[in-house]
Amino acid sequence: MARKFLYFVAGAIVLVLLAALAYRLFGDRMMRAAFVPTAAFQAAPKVAADAYADPAMWYSYPGKGPTDPSLWVPEGYQPSGAPPAALFYIHPTTFLERSAWNAPLDDIEASERARLFLRAQASAFNGVATVWAPKYRQATFGAFLTDRADAEKALALAYGDVLSAFDRFVKDIPADRPIILAGHSQGSLHLTRLLRERVAGRPIVGRIVAVYIVGWPVSVDTDLVALGLPPCEQAEQAGCLLSWQSFAEPADPSLIFEHYDQTTGFNGAPRAGSAMLCTNPLTGIPFTAADADANLGTLFPSKDLKSATLEPGRVPARCDERGILLIGAPPELGPYTLPGNNYHVFDYPLFWANVRVDIARRLATYQAAHQTDKSQ
């Protein structure tokens, strides 16, 4: 399983890397030609009302056993045998084709990449949570490179699947079970909409331990209020949001800000100039700094890509004034980072052990508060 974990370096990243390099060298025209579908979006029906009652519609699901990719752990760790919480995890973009605007649910390559991201990301939570990770008809990578209406339709179709899966998740878990929400990249984009439509202002908000909106910008000024939960201001705080985007130094996040500054926030105001929420995963507190000795473990691939080791004390982190998480000199994770020293794909692996400790702390706070409530 460790061998398969590292295929996310060789498989999921390489095409995205080449695309980003092409963008730098030849401009957005070539990038769009390579990845944006030329055919018109084809409307598809919603999934059946009971579709996600089928365990086959989930990459990770209670009872899948050793075939569950979220149960992967590095040496020295074990997933919990009886986790108290439930995690709803939305994987990032793994469909890179231009043959369609949305991934078929049975696409072999996209599905395998999704499983590999589960090993690299969702596994950080398996010490305290059972992971529920749905298959969904994700928008293709090219949908993020164009302003065509077809791209919005593709994202809406993908979100519809996520929404159906979440509703099933809530229906199937016990009514008093703590909930953790996490996503990455496209998954985090869908998570922000899910928060607005299914969590904010509803009773379920009281069951949320923490929300990890990683690899997608969240404006402090224009987005946070609409999401229904405050940012995590303390390492032990529960019922709050975390978000970060990782860059080594010297960092060039201009590609992110060029788009971000042209968009409108959830409150209807422009995002231009506003800071993005930056939680330092080494401290659990936004807009802070920590030396590498605070890093409890980064997942490093071996040179032959056949194994992964967890190495502490290798990667520092500090938030800059606009909300980019800076990780110092580029860590030796191989030549698979994106231009501008963007470590987007490694947002979770860089801080794998700290994320594991972070969610355990927050769950302990949540449990203590709810135990107190029951006793009164």
- Give the residue-averaged pLDDT of 91-104: 94
* pLDDT band per the 50, 70, 90 thresholds, residue 90: very high
> What's the pLDDT at 14?
42
Picking from 250, 275, 243, the residue whose alpha carbon sits closest to that of residue 261 is 275
pLDDT at 114 over 70: yes
Residue type, 85: A
d(CA 2, CA 305): 9
Size (the chain), residues: 376
Picking from 42, 21, 13, 248, the residue whose alpha carbon sits closest to that of residue 141 is 13
pLDDT tens by residue, 356-370: 999 999 999 999 999
pLDDT at 8 over 60: no
The structure's pTM equals 0.92
- Work out whether the CA dihedral 15, 18, 20, 22 comes out positive or negative: negative
d(CA 274, CA 218): 10
pLDDT tens by residue, 138-187: 999 999 888 889 999 999 999 999 999 999 999 999 999 999 999 999 99
d(CA 52, CA 194): 17
> What's the pLDDT at 34?
66
> What's the pLDDT at 5?
33
- Give the residue-averaged pLDDT of 108-134: 96
Backbone torsion region of residue 27, taken as left when φ is above 0, otherwise alpha when ψ lies between -120 and 50, otherwise beta: left
* pLDDT band per the 50, 70, 90 thresholds, residue 338: confident
- Are the C-beta atoms of residues 363 and 87 closer than 8 Å to each other? no
Residue 209: other Cβ atoms inside 10 A: 24
pLDDT at 316 over 60: yes
> What's the pLDDT at 375?
54
Weakest mean pLDDT among 2-11, 122-131, 174-183:
2-11
d(CA 9, CA 337): 10
d(CA 227, CA 370): 22
pLDDT tens by residue, 236-294: 999 999 999 999 999 999 989 988 999 999 999 999 999 999 999 999 999 999 999 99
Q: What integer best gives the mean pLDDT of the chain?
A: 89
CB < 8 Å & 24+ apart, contacts of 169-177: 169/52, 169/86, 169/88, 169/132, 169/134, 170/198, 170/204, 173/86, 176/207, 177/84, 177/85, 177/86, 177/207
- Work out whether the CA dihedral 335, 337, 340, 343 comes out positive or negative: negative
- Give the residue-averaged pLDDT of 105-125: 95
d(CA 232, CA 227): 13
